[in-house]
Amino acid sequence: MKKLTLFIITILSITYYTNAQNPQWLSYTNGDYVFALAEDGNDLWVCTNGGLVRFNKTTGISTYYNTTNSGLPDNRIYSIAIDENGTKWIGTSSEGLVEFDGTNWTIYNTLNSGLPGDRVWSIAIDENGTKWIGTQYHGLAEFDGTNWTTYKTFNSGLPDNYVRSLAIDENGTKWIGTSSEGLAEFDGTNWTTYNTSNSGLPDDIVWSLAIDENGTKWIGTNYGLAEFDGTNWTIYTTSNSGLPYNQISSLAIDENGTKWIGTNYGLAEFDGTNWTIYTTLNSGLPDDRVRPIAIGENSTKWIGTWYGLAKFDGINWTTYSSSNSGLPGNYIKSLVIDENGTKWIGTNYGLTEFDGTYWTTYDTSNSGLPANEVLSIAIEENGTKWIGTNYGLAEFDGTNWTTYDPSNSGLPVNEVLSIAIEENGIKWIGTWDGLAEFDGTNWTIYTTLNSGLPDNEVLSIAIEENGTKWIGTWDGLAEFDGTNWTTFSTSNSGLPYNHVRTITIDENGTKWIGTENGVYGGGLTEFDGTDWTTYNTSNSGLPDNEVQSITIEENGTKWIGTWDGLAEFDGTNWTTYTTSNSGLPDNKAMLISIDENGTKWIGTRVMGLALYNENGIPVSVRKNRITENNLLVFPNPANDFLNIKLLSAGKILFVQIIDSQGRLVKSQRNASNQASIDLKTIPRGIYITKVYTENGFIIKKTVKQ
């Protein structure tokens, strides 16, 4: 009988956070990259690039653990194993091994234990409860709860110190997959190595291991799948089997002995004779890049991908987001807050709008954004957003997109690094190849050849009340009053280094200048128009001399993001926040914006957004939202068309359809009290319909069937 594929997107599951160790901190991450899975009764533990998730398989409730709200030292979780007591053993990307008994967190690292390396790729637990821990470049560790034993290439038969995968057979023999030297077998005394030169192993990079009930080993390599019964080798590749791709990232075996094989080109099911391939085109798989696979009760498969988690019961598919936010990526490249308190966040994967409740992501596939790498954002008084990308400049008024690039405008190059807007609406745009002035019609370009600009790479721009521009470049600081240029560098001023990353001007007109950490200096510089004062790691509480961002509170306190932590400076006292003494998830604090509640929004390089408020994070209040009783949405569920009727006075201005990942999949302008939305090209699933009217907006959950 043909299987029916039902693709249900779960987007309204309840989210709980653990009791926060520091209620002043909160973090938002993208955790859709799933590294590892572990079954624990009714719970599934999901290891992601944004923390650890405890997912209740019955209720659909997710509990998120991260560096802000738990004892986790790192948000990138690579591996997990659960012992017979239910204690979780968690491998991180850079902070060692973590033991979690449900209440207490214990961290083992190279400084406080016998763990040989802090990047833990694999964990297995033998029948005695001994933990076996595979590290990157530092070998294999054995830990019995008291004693540590380390196996490396120089003191054992381990062929490679980079241990990618581990499995233990019924005899207690350890099978160890390495990153470049094949497979090792260790019975507690003797070591045997299998590689391409002495066995049937098809490749020496071993990504994954599984052992079936007959004791046969299944070995996923970089060039095919190997079956090894202790004597004979059988190799499966794309050329002699139904395998869709030769790099085998994961393996699992269900109670029927069927093998489930994760690749970059989908999921393969192999019953010993027949192959069935599942991809995003023929199933509910959210992404073709399959990572971990776990087999649950009734042979339910749980599949982690680069883009979320899927459950497959053999007939129906259900997908789940493993993120605690709608962020499309964790590298925050730009960040501003508009007058309504809505955050606009630029990442490597698009532009995200967050109104305190709903996340909407704009990218090249669903909007007029010219590229997904969003380097800069500025908002003018009428609310129009100007977005700089690595492939052009975009103007977005909330409905319409206009794109500017060298082919259709005076923009000198595509890479837009910085944007500032004057009170009169003139845009100043910093690029890799000069400064552009745009009044809405005319473009004027300033370079080292026709102006006093010290370098064509314009990293930052700030505008004084009198209209004077301060321009930070790769080779010094420039002041431009509209006619005259003045250049400041290490040779003629108190500037400590010529790479000017960021500029902010306080209410007194004093400039605060952040530079990179150069050979001859760096740090934070204060310039009042006459005197220069530089703060660095040797004379202040600045945690690092590479200053990425500066923001000033209403009370005049400066917040400084550096390459090694966040600093608060009130003019006299310094307070430093790092991953070791606060809820900051990443020391690389790239950007800072402060909202009307005094909450600091901190964009990091690899760990998403961190929020900090010394008085506690306030509960967000939505603005200008109209009651749902004013709107009729029908039919719901809908097939081809969704009809919307406004029951109160006013007009529907436009409608947005948003999927479970916060992505805008359809936008339609309107000019009456009713609208009809064509859904024929939208996949089946659950969506958010956001209806904008003259009086505000209304949110409705809708189903496309």
pLDDT (tens digit per residue) in 547-570: 999 999 999 999 999 999 999 999
Query: What percent of the chain stands above pLDDT 70?
Result: 95
* Vertex 413 angle, CA 410 and 418, to 5°: 95
- Residue range 628-704, CATH number: 2.60.40.1930
Q: Which of 15-19, 80-84, 193-197, 503-507 has the lowest mean pLDDT?
A: 15-19
pLDDT of residue 263: 98
Structure tokens at 682: 């939208």
CA 151, CA 323: separation in Å to the nearest integer?
Answer: 36
Average pLDDT over residues 281-291: 97
Query: What percent of the chain stands above pLDDT 90?
Result: 82
pLDDT at 350 over 80: yes
pLDDT of residue 412: 98
Average pLDDT over residues 573-584: 95
Residues in Cβ contact with 240 at an 8 Å cutoff, skipping those fewer than 6 apart: none
CA 49, CA 605: separation in Å to the nearest integer?
Answer: 13
* 3-class DSSP state of 584: coil
611 C-beta neighbours (distance < 10 Å), count:
17
Average pLDDT over residues 209-236: 98
pLDDT of residue 4: 25
pLDDT of residue 517: 86
377 C-beta neighbours (distance < 10 Å), count:
22
pLDDT of residue 615: 85
Q: What is the pTM of this model?
A: 0.83
Predicted confidence band of residue 694 (pLDDT cuts 50, 70, 90): confident
pLDDT of residue 661: 67
Average pLDDT over residues 622-630: 58
pLDDT at 21 over 60: no
pLDDT of residue 610: 96
pLDDT at 533 over 90: yes
pLDDT of residue 698: 84
pLDDT at 701 over 90: no
CA 474, CA 497: separation in Å to the nearest integer?
Answer: 10
* Vertex 228 angle, CA 227 and 231, to 5°: 145
pLDDT of residue 627: 61
pLDDT of residue 520: 66
Predicted confidence band of residue 289 (pLDDT cuts 50, 70, 90): very high
Query: 81 burial class (0-12, 13-18, 19+ CB within 10 angstroms)?
Result: buried
pLDDT of residue 12: 29
Pairing mode of beta strands 34-40, 476-480: unpaired
pLDDT at 15 over 60: no
pLDDT at 302 over 70: yes
Note the helical H segments in 413-470: none
Average pLDDT over residues 276-288: 97
Predicted confidence band of residue 169 (pLDDT cuts 50, 70, 90): very high
Structure tokens at 226: 């190997």
To the nearest 10°, report the CA torsion of 645, 649, 652, 653: 180
pLDDT of residue 401: 98
CA 8, CA 10: separation in Å to the nearest integer?
Answer: 6
pLDDT (tens digit per residue) in 240-275: 999 999 999 999 999 999 999 999 999 999 999 999
Structure tokens at 452: 């006093």
pLDDT at 17 over 80: no
Predicted confidence band of residue 124 (pLDDT cuts 50, 70, 90): very high
CA 333, CA 604: separation in Å to the nearest integer?
Answer: 8
* Distance from chain centroid for Cα 312: 25
Write the CA distances from 253 to 267, 305, 481, integer angstroms: 13, 18, 70
Chain region(s) in the chain for CATH 2.60.40.1930 = 628-704
397 C-beta neighbours (distance < 10 Å), count:
12
pLDDT at 536 over 80: yes
pLDDT of residue 136: 98
CA 98, CA 652: separation in Å to the nearest integer?
Answer: 52
Predicted confidence band of residue 684 (pLDDT cuts 50, 70, 90): confident
pLDDT at 665 over 90: no
pLDDT of residue 697: 77
Predicted confidence band of residue 331 (pLDDT cuts 50, 70, 90): very high
Q: Which of 51, 28, 560 is nearest to 345 (CA)?
A: 28
Determine contact, residues 17/27, Cβ cutoff 8 Å. no
pLDDT at 14 over 80: no
Write the CA distances from 573 to 79, 230, 492, 568, 616, integer angstroms: 41, 67, 30, 8, 21
* Vertex 261 angle, CA 259 and 266, to 5°: 135
- Considering only residues 36 and 664, tell me which one the structure prediction assigns the higher pLDDT: 36
| Range 237-240, long-range pairs (CB < 8 A, 24+ positions) | 237/202
In this structure, what are the phi and psi dihedrals at residue 425, rounded to the nearest 5 degrees?
Answer: 90, 0
669 C-beta neighbours (distance < 10 Å), count:
12
Highest mean pLDDT: which of 55-59, 297-301, 348-352?
A: 348-352
pLDDT (tens digit per residue) in 455-499: 999 999 999 999 999 999 999 999 999 999 999 999 999 999 999
Residues in Cβ contact with 45 at an 8 Å cutoff, skipping those fewer than 6 apart: 37, 38, 39, 52, 53, 54, 55, 80, 82, 88
CA 380, CA 2: separation in Å to the nearest integer?
Answer: 56
pLDDT at 674 over 90: no
Average pLDDT over residues 536-551: 97
Helix (H), strand (E) at residue 369? none
Beta strands in 357-510 (DSSP E): 359-362, 374-379, 385-389, 392-396, 401-404, 416-421, 427-431, 434-438, 443-446, 458-463, 469-473, 476-480, 485-488, 500-505
* Distance from chain centroid for Cα 192: 40
pLDDT of residue 617: 81
Number of helical H runs and strand E runs in the chain = 0, 65
pLDDT of residue 441: 97
Pairing mode of beta strands 275-278, 266-270: antiparallel
CA 90, CA 361: separation in Å to the nearest integer?
Answer: 31
CA 673, CA 175: separation in Å to the nearest integer?
Answer: 67
CA 33, CA 103: separation in Å to the nearest integer?
Answer: 26
pLDDT of residue 626: 57
Average pLDDT over residues 672-689: 86
How many CA atoms lie within 13 Å of 123's alpha carbon, on the beta-carbon side?
29
Structure tokens at 281: 């085109």
Q: Which of 267, 162, 171 is nearest to 207 (CA)?
A: 162
The DSSP code sequence of 384-400 is: -EEEEETTEEEEE-SS-
* Vertex 23 angle, CA 12 and 19, to 5°: 60
Residues in Cβ contact with 690 at an 8 Å cutoff, skipping those fewer than 6 apart: 358, 360, 655, 656, 657, 658, 697, 698, 699
Q: Which of 197-211, 350-364, 436-450, 557-571 has the lowest mean pLDDT?
A: 350-364
Residue 406 is classified by DSSP as: T
* 3-class DSSP state of 57: coil
pLDDT at 287 over 50: yes
Average pLDDT score over the chain: 92
CA 471, CA 160: separation in Å to the nearest integer?
Answer: 51
CA 227, CA 214: separation in Å to the nearest integer?
Answer: 12
Determine contact, residues 525/495, Cβ cutoff 8 Å. yes
pLDDT at 653 over 90: no
Residue entry with tokens 């005094």: 598
Average pLDDT over residues 381-406: 97
Report the residue count for the chain.
Answer: 705
Average pLDDT over residues 621-637: 70
